[in-house]
Structure 1
């Protein structure tokens, strides 16, 4: 989708488009996002924080005196803006603005009352999420849904969870390790063997009243487009898996910008020292707003001390080595025609995943003509949700 704001900063534009898209299910309002974004200085993380924190604070205050429906709507939008305000601050995990805004974001979402908070037992602690119950009697299919590299369980509301009930599905969302509630409250960093995350979630789901155990599907967003298929390769109780968008090798987002092949990059990233590699990453941060943000956030959520260590850890997030071929359940691979992160030089990451699948498979491409060509179709979330649930109807 053509950039209409932040034309020199693709990362700021993508996050703005992401906020626009959340309006589809009440997570933002177009004019509010334009008003906040118009005060932001491109590339200035502090100005981004200040703009969205101020917008969120205004809505939060207004909700205190509003009627119940108005308050719900105000709180949902405030939740989105609080979360967005701290989005670019993770280069310094000790920044007090992160916890302040994040905790208020979760408070607003829970006070809005659109889903039931749940805690899923996991390794001596819990994974936090939400359960959305479909109306009507009798067992219903269940969609388990999680976000990716930087999104939250609360954000899943706007990216498919809110749509579940009207399509006749229960939905269970959660934050896994590395995702907001897990990293902020329990310091659980990402892990590539995501089946060890999804299996206890499926265990929990089977104990929920009204769930049809033969019709449990899993959907992952963004990096979740690699994590969810990884889990499906080892979790036989899943009846279908959806990758929004598909990712075969997450590390391709980094390796394509470096002058070595993947084997050499792995070796150098894991070396005790590599000044040349460090210099390349430093130069890349200066030239590329997305790489700058990805390294800052990546150190935070993968538990890396340096940008090079982040790259080394991130290269483990791949379905290479026959993992994709192990998936047996029907798989929907979504693809954005103009993906900022996983476009690929010769073949997109969704198509790489699709080509390696032996299971029944569908490739669904979203285009610029539909306004849906951005990463995870953030500009067309109702269109994407409708097509995904229709595929689930046909598949389950």
Structure 2
């Protein structure tokens, strides 16, 4: 898709398109996104934060005014948009973990979302899911108040998205179709990273198993029809979990990822084994210098590495790239997945192009590859700008798959 805004900065454009995408389920208005973007200095993280924060503050104040006056639908809609705008405001700030601005914007995003959640019927319920010696934050969506068990979708985001954002990336779409939906943030994702210091872990089955344990305690969950969806980096995390957690009736990877290590080594000369040794070495000054040069010239790499150090809990760009080597479905892991699996693929994916096909080829379970194209407006990573289209196709597949599971 042509960059309509920020023509010289792919990362700024992608994040703007991401906010536009959330219009489909109430997370933005086109004019608010465009007017905010027009005030932003291209490539300037501080300007990005300032302008998105200003928009979020304005929209949330108007939502609060509506709530105080008893206009609950207007308040709900405003809080939803403000939540998304606060999320966007803090997006590029993680290069400095001590910067108080990103904690403030994140907390405001959650607070606005929870204000909106309380105004739905049935209300979207914040939950705390037991996990090791703490809890993981999440939300329970009910299709109605009957308490009847329904097919259930557990959803989580990826490298940089929030549980709240999953409202626009499929949770509300599931409720519209009669599903119980359980959304959560795992280690490394925003809630646990901001407030508990939990960083990502590759053995995601040890995250999903307690989430399924929790889901099975809920009367609205049909234990025989629980599916799992992972978005973005969740496209490697969720399949990793499904390889070892066999209570799942279906798996969806949006979009599929086979091996994050391929991203780490692709610019390092030599074969994979030599590149891995260099990434894990005690000292590699030439590689360190090369990564610094890449960060200086490539806006997407600069953001990804800064954010990656934050969510992986490491101190150097090389250590971040080394951490990616552990996030893989190679060595027979993908082949362990037993449940029917949908692998989504974006034809113009700028982050993991080719990896959905790799994952699909290694699966031995019942499997479907679903390709989204630029002609459909859906060719970018995770299909921003085509939410109604992508959610329709994904849920139609899930409807049919879980119907077969319950037959």
Aligned equivalent of 1:103, options 90, 104, 107 = 107
How many angstroms apart in 2 are the aligned matches of 1:284 and 1:261? 20
How many angstroms apart in 2 are the aligned matches of 1:262 and 1:74? 49
Aligned equivalent of 2:295, options 272, 278, 285 = 285
Residue matched to 1:71: 75
Residue matched to 2:60: 60
How far does the alpha carbon of each residue in 1:145-196 deviate from its partner, in whole angstroms, 9 at most, with x for none?
0000000000000000011111111000000000000000100000000000
Residue matched to 2:399: 393
How many angstroms apart in 1 are the aligned matches of 2:149 and 2:140? 15
Residue matched to 1:36: 36
How many angstroms apart in 1 are the aligned matches of 2:268 and 2:143? 47
Query: Counterparts in 2 of 1:133-282, with a 5 A limit?
Result: 133-135=142-144, 137=146, 138-282=148-292
Give the TM-score, by structure 1 length: 0.97
How far does the alpha carbon of each residue in 1:14-59 deviate from its partner, in whole angstroms, 9 at most, with x for none?
1010000001100011111111111111211000000100000001
How far does the alpha carbon of each residue in 1:175-229 deviate from its partner, in whole angstroms, 9 at most, with x for none?
0000000000100000000000000000000001121111000000000000000
Aligned equivalent of 1:316, options 320, 326, 339 = 326
Secondary structure at 1:362 match in 2: strand
Kindly tell me the number of residue pairs found equivalent between the two proteins.
392
Give the TM-score, by structure 2 length: 0.95
5+ long unaligned stretches in structure 2: 403-407
How many angstroms apart in 2 are the aligned matches of 1:383 and 1:34? 23
How many angstroms apart in 2 are the aligned matches of 1:355 and 1:142? 27
5+ long unaligned stretches in structure 1: none
How many angstroms apart in 2 are the aligned matches of 1:334 and 1:65? 41
Secondary structure at 1:332 match in 2: strand
Aligned equivalent of 1:374, options 353, 368, 380 = 380
Residue matched to 1:352: 358
Aligned equivalent of 1:299, options 309, 312, 319 = 309
Residue matched to 1:112: 116
Say if 1:86 and 1:121 are closer, same or farther in 2 by CA, change over 3 A: same
Residue matched to 1:3: 3
The list of structure 1 runs, each at least 4 consecutive aligned residues, that deviate by more than 3 angstroms after superposition, is: none
How many angstroms apart in 1 are the aligned matches of 2:316 and 2:384? 30
The answer to whether the Cα contact below 8 Å between 2:264 and 2:322 also exists between their aligned partners in 1 is: no
How many angstroms apart in 1 are the aligned matches of 2:277 and 2:51? 42
CA RMSD in angstroms, aligned pairs only = 1.0
1:265 to partner: Cα distance:
1.8
Aligned equivalent of 1:94, options 98, 108, 121 = 98
